Amino acid sequence: MILLASVLVLPAALSAPRPAIAAETVRIGGYLFPPFVELLDGQPGGLTLDLIAAINRAQSKYRFDFVPISADNRYTDLARKKYDLIVFESASWGWNPAQIATTEPLMEGAELFVALDQPGRGQEFFNDLKSKRLAALRGNHYRFADMVTDPAILESRFDIALMEDPGDCLQAVLDGEVDVAVMTGAYLNRLLAEVPEFREALLIGQTPDQRYALSVIGAASRRTLVEEIGRLLRQTLESPDFQLLLQDYGQLRKG
């Protein structure tokens, strides 16, 4: 008896290995905003960069690249498509609501007033900022200044030094060059965790300049992408491995 083996021949288009689908590149813009974006040995680093690295490892649909931008140009750079999304950003910081799409908050934050702790100095020291020498970050929005960022206007209304790095703001306080610095709470919390001695040296305002919710922001025309990336970022933030990493950044509060 001869057994005839039947052979199933697939069309070449079906039998050949399918090429891998290339990941879609998503450009994440970021300006100097420690601890979210900061310079480490001259290179961009911080929580935003750590989050980008983690989400690139966790999935293959998107490839996230970091694009350095400036605080002043964040709006025009988005409109000109220099980048696609910005992470850990507040919609209240000068954005036109009609032109952007946002996500649910990823994290909460605050801006705090900081001064030297001296005998006889209490919380009332922060009541009259117009009589104080101030240090703040260039391009940042502050409630005490009505969210104005124009240096000329700020310098006409306050005795203020606008700086590029929060470490310089704090150093100006320690050196007695200014009376009060406005500092991001997340940055200050990490600093106090790393250098506990600062707790005794500094007077920290109990009433923040502002509290804010930090979200993902992109162009209104890309709302679907903004929402999907927001979900991916939140999943990464809430993963056990990333929660361990967050401990290195101090007391960051999730949204």
CA distance 52 to 64: 6
Q: How many domains does the chain have?
A: 2
Residue 196 located in a structural domain: yes
Residue 175 located in a structural domain: yes
pLDDT over 70 at 6, yes or no: no
Residue in the structure block whose two tokens are 């927001």: 230
Are 136 and 182 a contacting pair, CB within 8 Å? yes
Domain boundary among the residues 178, 193, 211 is at 211
* Domain encompassing residue 134: 110-211
Residue 35 located in a structural domain: yes
Residue 170 located in a structural domain: yes
Residue 134 located in a structural domain: yes
Is the CA virtual torsion 113, 205, 109, 189 positive or negative? positive
Nearby residues of 163 by Cβ (< 8 Å), 6 or more positions away:
135, 136, 137, 138, 169, 172
Same domain, residue pair 78 and 133: no
Q: pLDDT of 113-151, one tens digit each?
A: 999 999 999 999 999 999 999 999 999 999 999 999 999
Q: pLDDT of 237-249, one tens digit each?
A: 999 989 888 887 8
**Cα 204–207–208 angle (5° rounding)?**
85
Same domain, residue pair 60 and 172: no
Interval 220-245 mean pLDDT: 94
Question: Per-residue confidence at 76, pLDDT binned at 50, 70, 90?
Answer: very high
Same domain, residue pair 66 and 123: no
pLDDT over 60 at 5, yes or no: no
Residue 13 located in a structural domain: no
Same domain, residue pair 45 and 125: no
pTM (2 decimals)? 0.86
Are 165 and 40 a contacting pair, CB within 8 Å? no
The CATH number of the domain holding residue 204 is 3.40.190.10
Same domain, residue pair 134 and 198: yes
Residue 19 located in a structural domain: no
Same domain, residue pair 86 and 130: no
CA distance 30 to 49: 9
Residue 35: is the preceding peptide bond cis (ω within 30°)? yes
